[in-house]
Structure 1
Amino acid sequence: MEKIISSPGKYIQGKGVLASLAKYSLQLGDTALIMSGGMVKSIVTPIISKSFSDAHAAFYMETFEGECCRTEIDRLVAICKAKQIKVVIGVGGGKTLDTAKAVAYYHQVPVVIAPTIASTDAPTSALSVIYTEAGQFESYLMLPKNPDVVLIDSQIVARAPARLIVAGMGDALATYFEARANGCSGNPAMSGGIPTLSALALAELCYKTLLKDGLKAKLAVESQVVTQAVENIIEANTYLSGIGFESGGLAAAHAVHNGLTLLSECHHLFHGEKVAFGTLVQLALENAPLEEINQVLAFCHSVGLPTCLADLGAGDVSKEALMAVAKAACAAGETIHNMPFKVDADAVYGAILVADQLGKRV
Structure 2
Amino acid sequence: MENYSVFLPCYSIGDDEIYKKIPGICGLYGKTAVVIGGQTAMAKAKESLLAGIADSDISINDFELYGNEASFEAAAALCENAAVQEADMIFAVGGGKAIDTAKIVGDDLGKPVFTFPTIAATCAPTSAISAVYHPDHSYRTVRIYAAPPVHCFMNTRIMVEAPSQYLWAGIGDTLAKYYEPTFSGRGRELEHFNAMGLMISGMCVEPLVRYGKEAMDANKARQGSYAFDQVVLNIIVSTGLVSNLVDMDYNSSIAHATAYGLTTLEQVEKNHLHGENVSYGVLVMLTMDNQSEEREKIFAFNKSIGLPTKLADFGITVDDLASVLDKAASVNDIVVSPYEITRDMFEKAILDLEAFNKTK
CA contact (8 A) 2:34 2:83 kept: no
**Whole-angstrom distance in 1 between the partners of 2:263 and 2:39:** 23
1:305 deviation in Å? Answer: 1.2
1:33 deviation in Å? Answer: 2.0
In the alignment, structure 1 segments of 5+ residues that lack a partner are none
2:225 aligns with: 227
1:337 deviation in Å? Answer: 1.6
Q: TM-score, normalised by structure 1?
A: 0.88
Residue 113 (str. 1) matches residue 115 (str. 2): yes
1:145 deviation in Å? Answer: 1.1
Secondary structure of the 1:83 match is helix
2:96 aligns with: 94
1:141 deviation in Å? Answer: 1.1
2:258 aligns with: 256
Residue 11 (str. 1) matches residue 11 (str. 2): yes
1:158/1:102 CA distance change after superposition, 3 Å: same
Amino acid in the other structure paired with 2:118: T
CA contact (8 A) 1:15 1:155 kept: yes
1:353/1:109 CA distance change after superposition, 3 Å: farther
Secondary structure of the 2:111 match is coil
Amino acid in the other structure paired with 1:72: A
**Whole-angstrom distance in 1 between the partners of 2:117 and 2:225:** 18
CA contact (8 A) 1:216 1:229 kept: yes
1:293 deviation in Å? Answer: 0.8
CA contact (8 A) 2:255 2:278 kept: yes
What is the Cα-based RMSD across aligned positions, in Å? Answer: 2.6
Q: TM-score, normalised by structure 2?
A: 0.88
1:43/1:177 CA distance change after superposition, 3 Å: same
Alignment of 1:73-152 (within 5 A): 73-79=75-81, 83-152=85-154
In the alignment, structure 2 segments of 5+ residues that lack a partner are none
1:201 deviation in Å? Answer: 2.3
Alignment of 1:127-276 (within 5 A): 127-184=129-186, 186=188, 196-248=194-246, 249-250=250-251, 251-266=253-268, 267-276=270-279
1:88 deviation in Å? Answer: 1.7
Aligned length: 353
1:159 deviation in Å? Answer: 1.0
**Whole-angstrom distance in 1 between the partners of 2:3 and 2:170:** 27
Secondary structure of the 2:278 match is helix
**Whole-angstrom distance in 1 between the partners of 2:83 and 2:47:** 26
Q: Deviations over 1:125-163 (max 9, x none)?
A: 111111222323221111111111111111111111222
Secondary structure of the 2:141 match is strand
Residue 335 (str. 1) matches residue 336 (str. 2): no
1:284 aligns with: 287
**Whole-angstrom distance in 2 between the partners of 1:39 and 1:312:** 28
Alignment of 1:294-309 (within 5 A): 294-309=296-311
Amino acid in the other structure paired with 1:278: G
2:66 aligns with: 64
**Whole-angstrom distance in 2 between the partners of 1:96 and 1:355:** 36
CA contact (8 A) 1:114 1:151 kept: yes
